[in-house]
């Protein structure tokens, strides 16, 4: 058994695709129309065969309630690894990304948390 997919619940797939590719730097891998929505995934740059991130519609009524409750408490449900949290913080801030937690040392990791504009907080983390 292997983990090949993980998901983020997004409020708008087009907006999410722009943010996750243009701003974060992921690459689109799969786009399959499925009625109102699409099967839409992105992968890490230079790792086409790596784990795919599904940009999953948050159309279910419970999803929005869940997301809002997490955001209110500042909880990132998804975390990505970066080489340098401070450098990413500087780069993303220049691009207008809003952080709810600036880079900080949390024991063995340095983390920061930002808003993905699709209703989620995302953590970026770097091992020391």
Partner 1 sequence: MFIANPDGTQVQQVPLVYPAEDFGIPRWDAAAPPSRQASSGLHILAVVGDVYQALADPTRRKILDELADRDDQTLFEICARLAMKHRLTSSRQAISQHLDVLEAAGLIITRREGRYKFHHLNRRPLEHIADRWLTSGPHRRPDENHPD
Selected binder of partner 1 within 6, 74, 87, 90 (CB under 8 A): 74
Q: How far is CA 102 from CA 10, 25, 45, 65, 81, in A?
A: 23, 20, 24, 25, 16
Nearer to partner 1, 20 or 114 (CB): 114
Q: Euclidean distance between the first and final Cα of the chain, in Å?
A: 30
Residue closer to partner 1, measured from CB, 54 or 63? 63
Choosing from 14, 31, 68, 84, the residue that interacts with partner 1 (CB under 8 A) is: 68
**DSSP state at residue 59:** -
Is residue 108 close enough to count as binding partner 1 by CB under 8 A?
yes
DSSP letter at 23 equals: I
Binding stretches for partner 1 (CB under 8 A): 68, 71-76, 100-102, 104-109, 111, 113, 121
């Amino acid at each position: 058994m292997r983990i090949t997919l993980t998901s983020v619940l997004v409020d708008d797939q087009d907006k999410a695709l722009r943010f996750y590719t243009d701003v974060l730097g992921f690459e689109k891998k799969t786009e399959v129309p499925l009625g109102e929505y699409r099967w839409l995934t992105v992968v890490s740059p230079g790792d086409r065969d790596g784990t795919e991130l599904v940009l999953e519609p948050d159309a279910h009524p419970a999803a929005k309630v869940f997301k809002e409750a997490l955001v209110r408490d500042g909880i990132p449900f998804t975390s990505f690894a970066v080489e340098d949290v401070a450098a990413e913080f500087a780069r993303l801030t220049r691009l207008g990304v809003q952080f709810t937690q600036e880079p900080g040392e949390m024991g063995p990791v340095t983390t920061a948390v930002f808003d993905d504009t699709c209703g989620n907080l995302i953590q970026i983390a770097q091992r020391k």
